[in-house]
Structure 1
């Protein structure tokens, strides 16, 4: 694997998508069983989520498909307690996450960290999932979707949807805040929906790309990486460190 990673990190960062880039499936689907066990969803919804994840894996994530998944997700979580979701994710993280992390992604995280680059987890999944995952992987900051909550701490809607151009806008804002030179930064994603993200850095890398992203990557001469699913393991991945919300 050669993505042109050099050992110089001042003013640099690496931005990683989560679903199908660091882990083999959609993060929301990974925590389906703990949510079922907690009584937050029923088996019918778990089956529907698994089917949607299968479509996501085989067809990719177009903007229209992502919009449908977002709408379905909002209907599903309305009224949920945000603090409870965070607790469930933290309690089940090792068992649910470790078997899904691509070894090649973990190696890249380690390489960028050793080079002194800030590590960003950039995902459309909600804060309550992305922050614990980022901490577990030893990443520095997160850019993710944020749900609106009422005075009781229950979900009512979306305050920020971290997808498409919204990701790129948030990345540029983080670069301004931290003094990052985006031309020297790296970004990794599997989906053409992240073309705005990939296009705003000097070192974009397509990971297991969908067909649309693969075409663009070949046209623009971007590196294409093929990550392979890990063997089933219960070993912990990464190390827990606080991740900042960008």
Structure 2
């Protein structure tokens, strides 16, 4: 998928930038594939438990700067040495089963609405491109920007070439706008986290989606719309009334159905010896 697209007309175009985790999808995409990675022999049970626990904390406490940094460190450390080809194959094989159930219906409806108005849609996330790009394809978005892991001899080194987070995410948006000819003053942006304040401040039409406490306060102070989304719905439950909407809804949720952290964490604890538990 191209990182940016050119507007159809000669005038400067309009884009809608969507954060991914807890905005388009209900949970963390970075941890969504923990179970298939375990099945593929890439991680052990202890790593699965840590990922489930990290998912739980992310869901309950939100994505403040400290939590995001802990999540980043966990994911990059976990991925060190993994073969890139194997990861791409696992994501490709399990994407629909993993991501369908918990995509916000309101998100796919809004994406379809923007595209019906002639706006491009850009998915922009701190999660890895290996997961975000396929999700973007499922959603039918026009462009994707995401973090990129460094690769050495076909394996992840554990280092990041680009971390699409905070001010860097806003800078990525400005680069996309320059490439595609978007007028950021006319563009839209949606996110749930105070860590995306630079992203929201970069456009003329920002909105907070299920905001954490910090973002709610900022949105209220700035008079930004606050949206409440609570309808994660599977693909089979959605209607696709038009070919354009089909490209979006056919991804019934092009969002990520991350591990059900609470239940999976409890399930694993019951099956591990006491000395291996957290």
TM-score in same-fold range (> 0.5): yes
Structure 1 unaligned residues grouped into runs of 5+: 1-8, 241-246
Deviates more, 1:46-55 or 1:190-199: 46-55
3-state SS of the aligned residue for 1:100?
coil
> What is the 5 A alignment of 1:20-169?
20-150=22-152, 152-156=153-157, 157-169=159-171
Deviation at 1:49, TM superposition (A): 1.1
TM-score by length of 2: 0.79
> Hey, what's the Cα distance between the residues in 2 that align with 1:171 and 1:139?
15
Per-residue displacement from partner, 1:53-73 (whole Å, max 9, x unpaired)? 111112111112211211111
1:14 to 16, 19, 30: 16
Per-residue displacement from partner, 1:173-228 (whole Å, max 9, x unpaired)? 11011110001111010000000000000110100000000000011010001101
Deviation at 1:145, TM superposition (A): 0.2
> Hey, what's the Cα distance between the residues in 2 that align with 1:70 and 1:140?
26
Would you say how many aligned residue pairs link Structure 1 and Structure 2? 232
3-state SS of the aligned residue for 2:17?
strand
Alignment-derived partner of residue 259 in structure 2: none
Aligned-pair Cα RMSD in Å: 1.9
Deviates more, 1:59-68 or 1:96-105: 59-68
Structure 2 unaligned residues grouped into runs of 5+: 1-10, 239-247, 252-278
The structure that has the greater radius of gyration is 2
> Does structure 2 conserve the Cα–Cα contact (< 8 Å) formed by 1:79 and 1:155?
yes
> Hey, what's the Cα distance between the residues in 2 that align with 1:230 and 1:118?
23
Deviation at 1:238, TM superposition (A): 3.6
> What is the 5 A alignment of 1:170-209?
170-209=172-211
Deviation at 1:13, TM superposition (A): 0.3
> Hey, what's the Cα distance between the residues in 2 that align with 1:129 and 1:75?
17
